[in-house]
Every structure is written in C-alpha cells, then in structure tokens.
Amino acid sequence: MELAPLYPILYRLLKPAFGSCLWAGSHNCPMIALTFDDGPNHKYTPQLLQVLDRYGIKASFFWLGACVNQAPEVAKEVYQEGHWLGLHGYDHRSFPLLKLDQLQQSLLRTQEVIARACQIDPDKVRDVRPPNGLFTPRTLSLLHQWQYRPVMWSVVPEDWECPGVSVVVDRILRQVENGSLIVLHDGHYGGQDVAQTAELIIPQLLQQGYDFVTVEQLWQFASTKD
C-alpha cells in the first residue's frame, strides 16, 4: 500500500505539534536540502556521489551503523567529499519499539562505526532521523536529553517502494517549495534508482532557482532567523 499521498498531510499535522524537530527550512528563502537514508551502500552510494559531484551539491546522509560496517570506504568517501552525516540507528529498528538502553546503544554504536570509518570524533555526528519516521514524545525527550538533534522531512516521495523514477521525480517536483527537506534512499530499498532520480531533479530544481544546502545549514538558519 502506497502512503505517498498521506505524507504531505502528516507533515502539516506533525510539524507544529513537534517543533523541536527539524522538519524544513524557511518558507522565505529558496534553500532546500537533499537527504539520503539507509546507506551507505557499496554500489548505489558511489553512483549517487558522482551525480552530486557533477553539480557541486552537498547533501546529508543518515546512516545505518550496520551498513557503515559493510561499506566503510564508501562512508569515508562521502565524508571526505564534504557531505553532512547523521544517524538512522544501527539496524533500522523503529525507535519506539526499543528499550531505553537499546535505543541509546543503537545510536552510540552507530556513532562509533562512523567515527572509525571516517576518522572523526563520534560527537561530530549528532543529527538523528528515526527509522520509518516513527517517534513518540518520549523518544524526542530522550534524544534531547542525550544531546541529539531530531531531523524529519517535508517531502517524502516513497522511493523505497520503487514506483519508478518518473513517479518519484514527479512527486518531488509537485511538492517542493522554499525550505523543503527531501528524503530519498541510497540503501537496499530504493537505492537502485537514486542516482538517476538525483540526475533528473537537481538540474530542474536549480533552474527553478533553488539553492541546495545541508541539514547543518538548515539548523544554522533556524537558530538565527528569530
């Protein structure tokens, strides 16, 4: 069952209710962020990097610790090319289903494998996107208590269902607006199309006047706009 038509509705409902999450940037500025979940993948992520490099785009990647362990050299390449890194849990289990210690260990373990692969301080990776977009008020409370920053989304074309590149591209172009935080996937599900999707949407969005920024840049703008 495809849920793509419901995500814009969920976004409008959840954003004001959970304002401590980063859902999008400013509606007054033509900045948008491309983000990618479930990687890194030894095949799909390098293909995507080639597209991003060709257009000079910096994106944000929310990684699974297990996938970093499987493709550490790819992880290192992503970091060295200047993309922003975030956490997606160790093995894609929904956060509300985990006990407190399991959730904390999932995040810490993922930080550790990223730090080892990219040769950075684990504390440099503090942004978290919950797998499947599922969280509770308690989840958010714990993330803030542990000094993580929850990151969500405003454009979800459901590419992991592999509806076809043209469908994914159309969904993005119909929903994108100033501040959009777009989520795609470069992992096992959806990754086979991600480079082609990026190749099609990036030039069109550039032509429409959008600037591509990282999640960190959206956070920085959010902290200064008031």
Active site residues per annotation: 37, 185
CA 219 to CA 181: how far, in whole Å? 12
CA 153 to CA 67: how far, in whole Å? 22
Coil, helix or strand at residue 35 = strand
> Are 207 and 201 contacting, i.e. CB atoms less than 8 angstroms apart?
no
Other CB atoms within 10 A of residue 5 CB: 9
> Are 52 and 205 contacting, i.e. CB atoms less than 8 angstroms apart?
no
Of 6, 15, 4, nearest in space to 222 by CA: 15
Of 131, 130, 88, nearest in space to 110 by CA: 88
Token readout for 38 is 């479930």
Supply the DSSP string of 148-211, one letter for each residue.
-EEB--SB---GGG---HHHHHHHHHHH--TT-EEEEE-STTTHHHHHHHHHHHHHHHHHTTPE
Of 147, 24, 128, nearest in space to 85 by CA: 128
